[in-house]
Amino acid sequence: MSATPVLRRSAEIRWRIIASLVLPIFGAMVKLRIREGSKLPASGPFILSPNHYSEIDPIVMGVVTWKLRRTPAFWPKHRCFVFQHWAG
């Protein structure tokens, strides 16, 4: 068994745990209507690039992708991981 299916399975398990926590809370706060969900490919890689309107956008994209039966994976900007040293 190659590493790719193992990593993919690990990511899916992680997302199932996260979804079991986030979806009930998100569903209680927001009414979500997915339009044109069929444009998302049923299999294979894809890039979903939303225009950011708020800080909750990654959560919304993750929920939408999950509800369309795909396991989301995020690829943040490298500067999200760079420690910024503030001069004081």
Q: What pLDDT, on the 0 to 100 scale, is given for residue 3?
A: 53
For residue 46, pLDDT beyond 50 = yes
State which residues form the domain around 61.
3-37+47-81
pTM above 0.85, yes or no: no
The pLDDT value given to residue 82: 61
Q: Pick the closest to residue 64 from 43, 44, 36 (CA basis).
A: 36
Confidence (pLDDT) at 44: 86
The mean predicted confidence, pLDDT, of the chain is: 77
- Evaluate whether residue 9 is within a structural domain: yes
Instruction: Give the chain's domain count.
Output: 1
- Whether residue 88 is contained in a domain is answered as no
